[in-house]
């Protein structure tokens, strides 16, 4: 083997090792998020970003991380900055691979949080972008069932948030598409794909309440307290479920 050939083989081996390291760090990130170890998850995915700053798998996880970090911020300015970073990372993920659903899921999530922060009826184009990205992710459906569940949840929640205002109010804004039946369909699908997930159960309970099915809503909300926390913020969501029960009784 010539020296050049030997160098090429060595380089390929190093690239393969680096790729394996990045995938391991991504898996580690997922496990740490589910274990509610946000600090550890950040360290893992930051290390992966340093190893490969163009990896689609790393970039959309960075988007997910910054959505979570934004939720945890108490200062409005810092909260919005984190959501904007999440949006930027998701954009980069989509630019890297426009045929994989991860970037679309977390760009939809980031835009959804930005819209809620600013007021959904004041940023109609952002809300419509949430719908477009979540729909695209569902159509692609080429990653995990958890990712598909997240896309269904985001789209269902978008519908549910819109129906807080009458359709006649929303139509001139270009938001007439929101309806509670669609919300119910997508939230049910999310629950089927990822059962006993606090975030999905709470939003479905809210959807049932919006459909004037208070008894069913209370039943779903009552079960939430016994579910395992698998996402940062779940303990707060359990408190919101208890408040929903009180409001409906």
Residues 101, 137: contact at Cβ < 8 Å? yes
Q: What is the pLDDT of residues 147-166, one digit of tens each?
A: 999 999 999 999 999 999 99
Q: CA angle at residue 37 from 36 to 42, to 5 degrees? A: 125
Verdict on whether the full-model pTM lies above 0.85: yes
Q: Is the pLDDT of residue 46 over 50?
A: yes
Residue 219 contacts by C-beta under 8 Å, 6 or more apart in sequence? none
Domain with CATH 1.25.40.10 in the chain: 18-33+41-190
Q: Helices 180-193 and 198-210 meet at what angle, rounded to 10? A: 150
The fold of 18-33+41-190 is: 1.25.40
Chain segment 57-77, per-residue pLDDT in tens: 999 999 999 999 999 999 999
What is the Cα–Cα distance from 162 to 176, expressed in whole angstroms? 8
User: pLDDT: is 201 or 9 the higher one?
Assistant: 201
The 3-class secondary structure across 108-166, one letter per residue, is: HHHHHHHHHHHCHHHCHHHHHHHHHHHHHHHHHCCCCHHHHHHHHHHHHHHHHHHCCCC
The total number of residues written for the chain in this structure: 249
């Amino acid at each position: 083997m010539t020296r050049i050939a030997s160098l090429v083989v060595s380089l390929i081996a190093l690239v393969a090792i680096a790729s394996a390291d990045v995938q391991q760090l991504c898996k580690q990130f997922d496990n740490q998020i589910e274990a509610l170890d946000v600090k550890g998850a950040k360290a893992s995915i930051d290390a992966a970003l340093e190893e490969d700053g163009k990896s689609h798998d790393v970039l959309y996880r960075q988007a997910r991380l910054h959505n979570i970090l934004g939720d945890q911020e108490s200062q409005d300015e810092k909260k919005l900055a984190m959501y904007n970073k999440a949006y930027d990372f998701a954009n980069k993920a989509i630019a890297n691979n426009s045929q994989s659903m991860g970037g679309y899921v977390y760009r939809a999530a980031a835009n959804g949080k930005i819209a809620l922060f600013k007021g959904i009826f004041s940023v109609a184009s952002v809300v419509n972008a949430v719908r477009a990205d979540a729909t695209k992710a569902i159509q692609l459906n080429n990653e995990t069932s958890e990712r598909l569940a997240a896309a269904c949840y985001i789209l269902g929640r978008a519908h549910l948030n819109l129906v807080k205002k009458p359709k006649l109010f929303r139509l001139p804004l270009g938001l007439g598409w929101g309806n509670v039946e669609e919300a119910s369909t997508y939230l049910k699908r999310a629950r089927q794909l990822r059962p006993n997930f606090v975030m999905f159960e709470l939003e479905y309970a809210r959807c049932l309440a919006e459909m004037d099915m208070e008894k069913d809503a209370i039943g779903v909300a009552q079960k939430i307290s016994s579910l395992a926390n698998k996402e940062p913020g779940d303990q707060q969501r359990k408190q919101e479920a208890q408040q929903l029960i009180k409001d409906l009784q």
